[in-house]
């Protein structure tokens, strides 16, 4: 019977032939997120949602061109579809920015009670 690498033999040494236990891993870094700057959250969420809104407008334009090449029957004009998509994108940008900023304020309030989120980074072998 051959031993497989990493198998334990019941001695608590991790199957090492020299019988020495490996040293326990110590944390390399402990990070605590105890608050988020609402202004930074607002600007970041605004830029990300603005980019997603622009992507949705371009997607509708490309799909409209593709459908016109395939001779599919269009219900309305391209201008109407782009105007509707732009309206939805503007609403999406405004709501996403407002909700992300509100979430930052709520996180800051709750982090005052529970001291935030702690992340421990360790090093694997």
pTM for the full model? Answer: 0.65
C-beta neighbour count of 19 within 10 angstroms: 10
Mean pLDDT for 8-12 is 55
Integer CA distances (angstroms), 21 to 15, 16, 17, 45, 108, in order: 9, 8, 10, 48, 43
CA torsion 52-54-59-64 (nearest 10°) is 150
Candidates 118, 102, 112; CA nearest to 41 is 102
Mean pLDDT for 3-22 is 59
Q: What is the pLDDT of residues 56-115, one digit of tens each?
A: 999 999 998 888 888 776 667 888 989 999 999 999 999 999 999 999 999 888 888 888
Integer CA distances (angstroms), 1 to 4, 15, 85, in order: 9, 14, 67
Question: What is the average pLDDT value for the chain, to the nearest integer?
Answer: 82
């Amino acid at each position: 019977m051959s031993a497989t690498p990493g198998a334990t033999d019941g001695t608590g040494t991790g199957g090492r032939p020299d019988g020495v236990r490996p040293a326990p891993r110590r944390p390399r870094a402990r990070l605590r997120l105890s608050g988020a700057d609402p202004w930074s959250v607002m600007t970041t969420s605004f830029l990300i949602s603005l980019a997603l809104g622009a992507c949705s407008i371009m997607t509708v334009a490309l799909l409209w061109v593709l459908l016109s090449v395939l001779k599919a029957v269009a219900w309305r004009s391209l201008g109407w579809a782009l105007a509707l998509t732009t309206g939805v994108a503007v609403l999406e940008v405004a709501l996403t920015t407002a909700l992300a900023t509100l979430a930052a304020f709520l996180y800051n309030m709750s982090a005052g009670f529970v001291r935030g989120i702690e992340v421990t980074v360790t090093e694997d072998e």
